[in-house]
Structure formats: C-alpha cells, structure tokens
Amino acid sequence: MEPVSSSVSSSVSAGSEVDASATLRALRKHIAEGVQHAQKLAPVHARDVSLHECLLFLQKALVCLSDDPDELWLDGSVQIDWSQFGRRIKRKRVLANLGQKQLAELVDISEGMIRAIESGQRRPSREVLLRLLAAPPLGLRLEDIALDSANDGVVPTSWLAPHYNPSQMISEMVEQLNGAGGSLEQTTAYLDYQSAKDWLDLASSSIYLDAFSKVSALDQVAQRVASEAENSGLDVIALGCGDAKREIKLVESLLQHGRSRGIKDVRLFLLDISHSLLTVGHTNAREALGSTVKSIVALHGNFHDLAKYPLFSARDVRTRTRVFTMLGCTLANLDNEVRFFRDTLSSTAAGDFFVTDFTNAYAPAELPERIRQIDPLYVSGMQPGHRAWLVGPLQRYVRGLRDVEFVMDLNTDCSVRGSYELTYVANVTAEGSPARRRFAVFRVKRYDADKLEDCLSRSGWEPRERLAYGNNARSHITLGLLRRTSAPAA
C-alpha cells in the first residue's frame, strides 16, 4: 500500500497543476478579450500608433501562452508571408553586422536552419520564432512578420489637403492678373477647368507624346527599383501626376518585374493641385491598373506641402518601400530644387526612390548667347499649343484685355549650378491701363545632368540610373533614378 504522506503529496501536486492550467486559461481568455476590444478600436483610431502597438503586444502575449506549439496566431485575420519574413530576417541580420553562424548561435539553432529561414525554404517553429523576436540585435517586432491588413474594409480613394481651396486660389490669381504685373505661381497654368483641358490637349499632341514615348527607359528604371526594393510592399507617390499616363506605365513595369522578387502589393498615390487633372489621372489609373494594385488614392494638394500629407507612418517605413515620381519635366516647377529634396523630403526614409525626368541644357549656362542660338524655344519660337494653353487665363480673367504679346526671358542664375531657366513672359495691354503690364506666366528649366546629380547627392539622394528618354532632338530629355541615403551630406 502506498504511504499516506506520498498519496497526499501527489494529490496536492495534481491539484496545483490543475489550478495553474485553469489560471493560464483564464489569463488567455482575458488577453483574448483585450485583443478583440483593441481590434474594434483600431479602425476608429487608425492613426493612433500607441493603440496599434498595444494590439501587437497583446497578440504576442497570446502567442507565448498558446497551448498548441504550432499555433502562431489566434486571430485568423492575420496572414504571414514566410518568404517575406525570411528576407526581413536577412536584412536585419546584415544591418546588425551578424553572420548566419553568429545569429544561429545567438538563438541556439543550426546555421543551416537560419539559411533555410532566410531563403524561405523553412518555416520557423513557434519556439524558434519567439527566440528570433527576442534577439536584441535584430530589433524585430511582431508586426514584422504580419502582412498589412490595415486597409481591409472600406478604402478611401480621395483625400483633400488641409486648407485646399481652389476657388480661393483662382480668386487670388484673378486679383494678381488685374494688378500691376508680376510672376504667376507655376500651378496657376493648370488651375481652372479650361486651363486643365488645354494642357490635356497639349499633352495629347504628337510632339508631346513623342517627347515622352520611350517606355523602355521607364521599364529599365522599374526593373532597378524592383531588384533593390527591400520590402514586399511598394508605394508609388506621383507628384504633379497630370493625366498619370507615364506613372501608369511605371507601375505596370513595377508589377511585371516585382512578381519574381516577392513584391506582393503596390499602392498608387496620385497628387496634383488641379482637381480636373487629378480626376482624369485617377480615372486613367483605375481603367489601366484595376485590381492589379492594392489601392489607387487621389490626393488634392500642393507637393510643396508634402510633409503634411498622410504618406508617412512608422509602420510604412518598416514594411514598405516608397517610390516618388515627378514626371513630365515637373521638376522645373520647383522654386528651389535643393530646398525641396533636402527639406520638403526630409521625412522620407533611407531606401526610398525618386524617379524624375528633366530637359538637358543645350549649352553651358555661362554662354547665354549660345543658348539663344540653339535652344529650340528660341529657335522655333512659341508653339501654337503652348500659346493657346498659356494665354487662356489672361483672356478669361484680365478685365478689358486688348492684346497679349509673348516674349522669352533667359535666367542663368539658378539654384542648381549649370542650369538655366526660360520664362514665358506675357506683355498685356488692357483698357484703362496706360502702359503694358508684364506677367511671367510659366517657366521651363534646362539642367546639366552631372551638376544636378551632384547637387542632389549632397541633399541625401544618390543617383542610380540616368537614361535617355526623349525620341527627338527637340525633347533632349533624361530620365533619372535617385535613392535616399541615410542623411544629406554635411
């Protein structure tokens, strides 16, 4: 017969195990209820990073307390891409200056297992995953293994910038046009409906289409981006998108080259100050891309205020690569290229890309007479399509307009060395005005590609590609790819 003392001890031990199991089950239940409550709040407070972090920690707690060693997520809505996770482990390891053998020793598994996880050939067990999450040099977070599900449900397709008021902008333009003269802000050329339509007519002309028709250059840039992107998600942010036709071609190439490189989803953000152009661009993108991209969002606003817009979040920096575009020679719309790339884009992350095109200088900036002799704008004069577009606001808004004469001004004192600026100047005669009034209505720029790249590299953007883009001598356009380094040069 078993001794009484031993029987009592066994009974107490068994009772303790039962009590412990019941306590753990109760704890799991309470944490699960917390997860459910946080998940209900998350859509309401989508921009609250602290709530998002709380939800992640609660989910991690459930992982740690799970009865099933193979059960990783109790919330079925969370999906995991193990190939993406493997690439992220490799990137984190390299950034931490760890070899595969060192990481294997740190988490107490074989070097072969680390190699298999990084290549996506093996899925880590729950225990190994928790060790990787707990390894301080990697700095992994629970969200690093989850696919982005934040856009489930209703996804907004349009966003208005704070204080965006096109009626007020037109009123200010009308007031200036009926004043003593001056320089019109570049975006006024696209602002009202008719100006937008005139620009679209110009953009559909054979001369314009030929200038930007070298799709192979966009495809080559897309291939480079897809090969270097470090995350599975891409956000293409098109600044001054207009009709978005070139941006659409770029996205189509990114989708094509990204499939074999683990790029799972692409989001397209179209930003323009003209409501009319943005509507056309958004419609073109939806018709061309459809469901091949995760979302297409129209942003009404000014790209000079880019840092204020909802394109940046701590989560996106960690899980997505951003590709900014400024196509159609929109770079010339910048008042100061250095300030834009250094300051306006200061909230971008290391690894982000910038795709832009620009017209090359036809002669050195220090030779103004040579520029006047060979630059097509001087040689051929103002084209009818450009005149119809730029004269429109003057005809519609200048009171008592009698005559408009356009001349070309040359400015070689630009913020980027080696560049020069050509300005369309309208000399306006109106009833009741004793003298002609001078309005600088639009400007174009020509760049020395080497000096432009050197300038932008000092602002924290490293040149990656420089490709011929135009198909005729008049265009003389270059397509460039830049990538954000950690910080601007001192």
pLDDT the model gives residue 327: 93
- 283-290 contacts, C-beta under 8 A, 24 or more apart: 284/243, 284/244, 284/245, 284/248, 285/244, 285/247, 285/248, 285/251, 288/248, 288/252, 289/248, 289/251, 289/252
Q: What is the mean pLDDT of residues 462-482?
A: 82
Please give the angle made by the CA atoms of 92, 53 and 22, to the nearest 5 degrees. 105
Q: Name the token pair of 229.
A: 């992107």
pLDDT the model gives residue 430: 92
Q: Name the token pair of 181.
A: 């003269």
Q: What is the mean pLDDT of residues 211-230?
A: 85
pLDDT the model gives residue 10: 46
CATH architecture of 25-144: Orthogonal Bundle (1.10)
- Are 325 and 236 in contact, with CB atoms under 8 Å apart? yes
pLDDT the model gives residue 113: 92
Q: What is the mean pLDDT of residues 330-349?
A: 88
DSSP tag of 398 = S
Distance (Å, rounded) from C-alpha 244 to C-alpha 258? 20
- Are 337 and 307 in contact, with CB atoms under 8 Å apart? no
pLDDT the model gives residue 63: 58
Residues 6+ apart with CB under 8 A from 5: none
pLDDT the model gives residue 126: 73
- Are 236 and 269 in contact, with CB atoms under 8 Å apart? yes
Residue entry with tokens 């979302």? 295
Give 416's pLDDT tier (boundaries 50, 70, 90).
very high
pLDDT the model gives residue 312: 57
pLDDT the model gives residue 71: 43
Give 48's pLDDT tier (boundaries 50, 70, 90).
low
Residue of 259, 485, 239 whose CA lies nearest to 357: 239
pLDDT the model gives residue 284: 93
Return the minimum-mean-pLDDT range out of 214-223, 224-233, 320-329: 224-233
pLDDT of 13 higher than 60: no
Return the minimum-mean-pLDDT range out of 4-13, 37-46, 228-237, 331-340: 4-13
Q: What is the mean pLDDT of residues 170-176?
A: 91
pLDDT of 151 higher than 70: no
Give strand pairing partners of 463. 482
Highest mean pLDDT among 137-141, 263-267, 358-362: 358-362
pLDDT the model gives residue 6: 44
176: number of Cβ within 10 Å: 17
Q: How far is CA 224 from CA 116, 238, 320, 482, in A?
A: 26, 18, 16, 11
The CATH classification of domain 158-490, taken from the options 3.40.50.150, 2.50.20.10, 3.40.190.10, 3.30.1510.10: 3.40.50.150
pLDDT of 1 higher than 50: no
Q: What is the mean pLDDT of residues 215-230?
A: 90
Domain ranges of the chain: 25-144, 158-490
**121: number of CA atoms within 13 Å, CB side?**
6
pLDDT the model gives residue 488: 60
- Are 133 and 140 in contact, with CB atoms under 8 Å apart? yes
- Mean pLDDT, the chain, rounded, equals 81
